[in-house]
Amino acid sequence: MSGSLGARIGQIIPTLLLVSVLVFGLQQLMPGDPALIMAGEERGDPQVLAQIRAELWLDRSLPEQYVHWMDGVLHGNLGYSWRIRQPVSQLIAQKLPVTLQLAVMAFAIAVLIGVPAGIVAAVYRNRFWDYLANAIGLAGLSTPTFWLGIMLILLVSVQLQWLPPSGYVPLFEDWRQSLATTIMPAFVLGNAIAAILMRHTRSAMLTALDQDYVRTARAKGLREWTVVLRHALRNALIPVVTLGALELGTLLSGAVLTEQVFSIPGFGKMIVDAVFNRDYPVVQGVVLVTAFLYVLLNLIADVLYVVINPRLRGA
């Protein structure tokens, strides 16, 4: 997988360049004239339209537009929101911490559920606990995020009235309230990843438990759970860590729906609002930034993989 990290780093630049072309190209799919949308009520005035076109370089050729746009992107300028006339980068910077809090909590929940479940499933392979873990995992994978959220609100907020059904309080304002508003969405968001982590952990543990060094540990007379936790788990966690990092995309996709269900003003809600406001620069900015985050995290995962796995260090 990370046989050559150098080559991996080399791959990232063309990948990011292609992402930028893709994101830029999205604009071309759009029906209608962007200038008309931007002009709003002044759309009847040809002078205003011409001015907007000149400002946005819409009167230039596509390659010129791309280079202009890319030049901005490289200088941290993702364009301006058509709706609120604010820099897109500023909007993203405001919303990103909210989603990050949600994502980190979700990932922690997923690890806390998925990894132990995977260990238990592997140890009790083809017995009751394995089947149960697999059944719950499959159910988790088959439940739409937003429906799980709605059902939880129905149960926890409407019926039991334990937690608020929606809203968000920033972490540094009131951390108790913040946790109260985010624990449910984080659980919903972590659910799908927990199922995936469970499957990965199970199969990695099965492989590890089959190795000679584990047999040796058993033959030495160590207790079974010592063997499982000290010897097998350490090696099984290596692939789990990297595969977990790959689920960032799932996390961000899920965040869009979770934030919508729980009315959390994060990154995901921003893209949905932008879509309905036809605020295309924001949509483009969000796609670009998520792709960049994804690529970056994958690189970190690859480096981690080499760091954790001594066998690959010399490669």
Nearer to another protein, 9 or 50 (CB): 9
> Does the footprint of another protein cover residue 51 (CB under 8 A)?
no
CB of 306 vs another protein, minimal distance in Å: 7
> Does the footprint of another protein cover residue 90 (CB under 8 A)?
no
* Options 70, 100, 141, 241; binder of another protein; rule CB under 8 A: 141
> Which stretch, 40-48, 100-108, 183-191, 279-287, contacts another protein (CB under 8 A)?
279-287
CB of 47 vs another protein, minimal distance in Å: 28
* Options 132, 150, 156, 171; binder of another protein; rule CB under 8 A: 150
First to last CA, the chain: 12
Instruction: Note whether 149 and 188 are within 8 A (CB).
Output: yes
Beta bridge mates, 87: 80
- What phi, psi does 80 have (nearest 5°)? -115, 140
DSSP letter at 65 equals H
Nearer to another protein, 220 or 313 (CB): 313
Question: Where is 61: in which H helix or E strand?
Answer: none
d(CA 81, CA 37): 12
Q: Nearest Cα to 308, choosing from 222, 237, 216? A: 237
In DSSP notation, 140-171 reads HHHS-HHHHHHHHIIIIIIIS--S-SS----T
> Which stretch, 24-32, 48-56, 71-79, 105-113, contacts another protein (CB under 8 A)?
24-32
Burial class (CB in 10 A: 0-12, 13-18, 19+), 194: buried
Helix axes 233-246, 248-261, angle to 10 degrees: 60
> Does the footprint of another protein cover residue 309 (CB under 8 A)?
no
> Does the footprint of another protein cover residue 5 (CB under 8 A)?
yes
> Does the footprint of another protein cover residue 102 (CB under 8 A)?
no
Nearer to another protein, 112 or 275 (CB): 275
Site mask for another protein (CB under 8 A), range 182-221, x = bound? ---------------------x--x---------------
* Options 109, 198, 260, 301; binder of another protein; rule CB under 8 A: 260
Nearer to another protein, 222 or 246 (CB): 246
> Does the footprint of another protein cover residue 232 (CB under 8 A)?
no
In terms of DSSP H, where are the helices of the chain? 5-29, 34-39, 46-55, 62-74, 88-123, 128-142, 145-152, 175-209, 212-219, 224-226, 233-246, 248-261, 267-276, 280-308
> Does the footprint of another protein cover residue 304 (CB under 8 A)?
no
Residues that bind another protein (CB under 8 A): 2-7, 9-11, 14-16, 18-19, 21-23, 26-27, 29-31, 138-139, 141-147, 150-151, 153-154, 158, 165, 203, 206, 248-250, 252-254, 256-257, 260-261, 271-272, 274-276, 280, 283-284, 286-287, 290-292, 294-295, 306, 315
